Amino acid sequence: MANAGLGYSEITDQYGSVQVRETLTCAHCNRIYPKPGTHDPVGFCHMCFKPVCLACGAKDKCDPFERKLDRLEARSKLRAAVG
């Protein structure tokens, strides 16, 4: 099973030098950020057990991005049904 939220970024500067870094995707806001090093601060949600950015980790609230999308879809369906 693949590690959810893990990816890679490849940055090429104007001289052709390439820098590759591992990235993580925040489970709460869907923001992509560089994977922290061993001594960097790390955000982790202890409710959904997924990596989160430091801003979402500081909120002390679990609101996964998928749940937000579900709420938006339900609201859209309700508005369409009401007219």
Residue 68, pLDDT score: 92
Asked whether residue 1 carries a pLDDT value surpassing 50, the answer given is: no
Residues 6+ apart with CB under 8 A from 31: 25, 53
Q: Rounded to whole angstroms, how far apart are CA atoms 30 and 13?
A: 26
Asked whether residue 13 carries a pLDDT value surpassing 50, the answer given is: yes
Q: Rounded to whole angstroms, how far apart are CA atoms 49 and 27?
A: 9
Count of alpha carbons within 13 angstroms of residue 55, beta-carbon side: 8
- pLDDT tens-digit readout, 14-57: 999 999 989 999 999 999 988 887 667 778 898 999 999 889 98
Q: Give Cα 44 distance to the centre of its chain.
A: 11
Residue 4, pLDDT score: 62
Single-letter residue type at 23: T
